[in-house]
Structure 1
Amino acid sequence: MNDLVKRLRALDTCAVSDAMDRHGLTGVVGGLRPLAARRPLAGRAVTVLLGPPPARPTASPRRHLGTAAVDASGPDEVIVVAHQGRTDCAGWGGLLSRAAAARGVEGVVVDGAARDLTEASEAGLPLFASAGTPVTARGRAVELAWGEPVEVGGIPVAPGDLVLGDAGGVVVVPAGRAEDVLATAEHIAATESAMAAAIEAGTPVSAVMGKSYEELTDGDR
């Protein structure tokens, strides 16, 4: 397992979001929630860009959307589908979920709707999206590109960026800033763990959540 992915997996989205704040970065993708196999996911991004089909298509798509990314992906990788927040049709479906799970893909993030959620759960594939829908992408959305920089919920995502998803949502860490962000997130998580232990030992929460807590996300001065 990649060391950065291993470290990311030990954190939660709250600690990573706080660390991003400290470094002046924005990486939380709003509106996404776990819809299938509801466990955390962590890995490096493999990107897929979707869009509406051309007004006058000259031929049927060469392949179904997402299939090339699935075939190229594996363990410690997260497929990120830029579906422009669309909920009128799915940007991901059941056969893709089964294929991704068979290849050991960590999970899938869809900026928009996904379908066949039961199949994804049966395959054990964590799937984060904004909504579920039974409506197919066929005739409504096509793959424009994969393996290229995309944007999901206003957040840029490049291939190889770190992606973490849990019950709190989804956060993306730029690959070039990953070491700094993870080190800060680890410090925040350790600090909050000590605070939690103090509360459980009987220390008043007003004393625990004092000035030092408020300054956890302050940038370097």
Structure 2
Amino acid sequence: MDTEAIGRLRQLDACTVSDALDSLGILGTPLGIRPMWEGAAVVGRAVTMKLAPFGEGEAEKPVHLGAAAIEASGPGDVIVIDNGGRVGMGSWGGLLSTAAIEAGVAGVVSDGALRDVDEARVLGFPVFARAPITRTARARATEVSQGEPVEIDGITVRSGDIVVADGSGVVVVPAERLAEVVGIAEGLARREAGMVEGLRKGLKPSEVMGPEYQNALKRAQQ
């Protein structure tokens, strides 16, 4: 894992990273997943898990969903949960947040709903999902895999890919494109900082955000 590149990503926002992915033609922005508390933000290596609806007559597993992902995670990792967009039950909760913090996990992204949002906020544990909910996953969802590739809103996420999430949403950077994406994103951030400076010096928006701005992503590829 390129810890230096991930450290550089932490200096950027999700929108800038998304622009860098766009410039490379990489689909990496799942829609509809948002922070569950104001100010939540995280950057880290993905550790995946997948849930499925609990089958009629199915026996409950002896280990709670999410436990294996926590135990497979290292410090700074982000657990990514594929619950197929289902929001009828929680896919994560307060006890798991506490266990994750103790293991050094940096945050959770769920393509579903999660519980105990207030507890996560008090703990300062970043959680991203489609919705908050009070309903338990017990007898409603079961864990079917951990560490295998998953899909979040049609975006494939593999353990080891990089997750960037903040108030604007979630972005997934393929691990093998990390250095390339970081370099382009940093260039875009520098360009935008120059534009902000121009606006503060009195330039008109049409001067700052004209054709030069519109073509910024195309130039990023050159």
TM-score (norm 1): 0.95
Q: Is the 8 A contact 1:45 1:80 kept in 2?
A: yes
2:18 is aligned with 1:22? no
Give the CA deviation at 1:56: 3.3
Q: Which residue identity does 1:124 align to in structure 2?
A: G
Give the CA deviation at 1:39: 2.5
Q: Which residue of 2 aligns with 1:218?
A: 218
What CA distance in whole angstroms lies between the structure 2 residues aligned with 1:180 and 1:74? 24
Q: Which residue of 1 aligns with 2:8?
A: 7
Q: Is the 8 A contact 1:38 1:127 kept in 2?
A: no
Q: Which residue of 2 aligns with 1:90?
A: 90
Q: Is the 8 A contact 2:111 2:129 kept in 1?
A: yes
Give the CA deviation at 1:55: 3.3
2:128 is aligned with 1:128? yes
Give the CA deviation at 1:62: 2.8
Q: Which residue of 2 aligns with 1:114?
A: 114
Partner-residue secondary structure (3-state), 1:27: coil
Q: Which residue identity does 1:194 align to in structure 2?
A: G
Q: Which has the higher strand share?
A: 1
Give the CA deviation at 1:180: 0.8
1:1-221 residue pairs with structure 2 within 5 A?
2-36=3-37, 38-57=39-58, 59-218=59-218, 220=221
Question: Structure 1 vs Structure 2: percent identity of aligned residues?
Answer: 46
What CA distance in whole angstroms lies between the structure 2 residues aligned with 1:26 and 1:49? 20
Q: Which residue identity does 2:68 align to in structure 1?
A: A
What CA distance in whole angstroms lies between the structure 1 residues aligned with 2:105 and 2:37? 14
When the two structures are aligned, how many residues end up with a matched partner?
220
Q: Which residue identity does 1:36 align to in structure 2?
A: W
What CA distance in whole angstroms lies between the structure 1 residues aligned with 2:162 and 2:132? 25
Q: Is the 8 A contact 1:13 1:165 kept in 2?
A: yes
What CA distance in whole angstroms lies between the structure 2 residues aligned with 1:188 and 1:182? 10
Q: Which runs of 5+ in 1 are unaligned?
A: none
What CA distance in whole angstroms lies between the structure 1 residues aligned with 2:168 and 2:75? 23
Q: Which residue identity does 1:24 align to in structure 2?
A: G
Q: Is the 8 A contact 1:120 1:126 kept in 2?
A: yes
Change (3 A) 1:214 1:37: closer
* Deviation string, structure 1 residues 20-50 (Cα, Å, up to 9, x no partner): 1110111111001111363210000000100
Runs of 4+ in 1 over 3 A off after TM superposition: none
What CA distance in whole angstroms lies between the structure 2 residues aligned with 1:62 and 1:4? 39
Give the CA deviation at 1:75: 2.1
Q: Is the 8 A contact 2:40 2:127 kept in 1?
A: no
What CA distance in whole angstroms lies between the structure 1 residues aligned with 2:60 and 2:91? 17
Q: Which runs of 5+ in 2 are unaligned?
A: none
Q: Is the 8 A contact 1:50 1:143 kept in 2?
A: yes
Give the CA deviation at 1:13: 1.0
What CA distance in whole angstroms lies between the structure 1 residues aligned with 2:88 and 2:54? 14
* Deviation string, structure 1 residues 87-141 (Cα, Å, up to 9, x no partner): 1101111100111112221110010100011111122100000100000000000
Q: Is the 8 A contact 1:36 1:125 kept in 2?
A: no
TM-score (norm 2): 0.95
Q: Which residue identity does 2:18 align to in structure 1?
A: S
